[in-house]
Amino acid sequence: MNQDRLKKRELKIWHQFYLTNLYLWSNIEWAVSEAIRETAHHPPFVLDVGCGHKPYADLFIECNYKGLDCTRENSSPDILGDATNIPLETATVDIVFTTQVIEHVTDPKAMICECYRVLKPGGFLILTGPFYWPLHEEPFDYHRFTKYGFENLLKQAGFVSWEMKADGGSWAQVFLAINLQLRSRWFIPLWVIFNLIGQFMDKIDHTELSPSNYTMLARKN
């Protein structure tokens, strides 16, 4: 991933990151839909932690949506603050949304505990993070997580119920890894071929031993 943070979502077969976004974005849309449908307050207050340029804001059009980030450099936050010390009162947020941020936080346990703290009872955390991904946004790239690592973080924060989805299977990750090594745009024809092969193999021989990411929907009691 380059240093420019995602500004909008465009799923194209000729994109280098197609085989992660194909599954990641679908799972995010599922989690957002579930959280908005099940939340007790309308419109729900949504806090996007590590919002960047808010590429998912369109999913929260009918919500009171605010973005939080630690800087305005290459980002467009409404609230400046640290993910491990969110500047909001306890139990004031209906949905905390944070995607591909946790690997850049030095203390992921503190981050999840803060997300839990600011959520209202019955509120939702939507969280995504990588299992496999090359180094990016260096040197601020600290962690990769198994599904059991994520589950442990959720438990330690106080969550007792959640649903987790792998963002693609092992075959998708294999061909994604190849595409990520082919950095020049001269390789676009190969990106298309490997995207198609990876998607096809994922359908006929789907395993989740090595996905690129995970998406979680957790609820605070």
* Three-state secondary structure call for residue 24: helix
| Residue 190 falls inside a structural domain | no
Q: Rounded distance, CA 199 to CA 150, Å?
A: 25
Domain count, the chain: 1
| Residue 103 falls inside a structural domain | yes
User: Which residues sit opposite 164 in a β-bridge?
Assistant: 216
120 CB contacts (<8 Å, ≥6 apart)?
40, 41, 91, 92, 93, 94, 220
The per-residue pLDDT for range 57-109, each reduced to its tens digit, is 999 999 999 999 999 998 999 999 999 999 999 999 999 999 999 999 999 99
| Residue 203 falls inside a structural domain | no
The per-residue pLDDT for range 104-153, each reduced to its tens digit, is 999 999 999 999 999 999 999 999 999 999 999 999 999 999 999 999 99
| Residue 138 falls inside a structural domain | yes
188 phi and psi, to 5 degrees?
-55, -45
Q: Is the pLDDT of residue 207 over 80?
A: yes
| Residue 137 falls inside a structural domain | yes
Q: Rounded distance, CA 121 to CA 220, Å?
A: 6
Q: Rounded distance, CA 111 to CA 83, Å?
A: 5
Q: Rounded distance, CA 202 to CA 102, Å?
A: 26
CATH of residue 144: 3.40.50.150
Domain that includes residue 161, residue range:
18-169+208-219
Q: Rounded distance, CA 18 to CA 16, Å?
A: 6
| Residue 56 falls inside a structural domain | yes
Q: Rounded distance, CA 81 to CA 71, Å?
A: 8
Asked if 146 contacts 112 with a C-beta cutoff of 8 angstroms, the reply is no
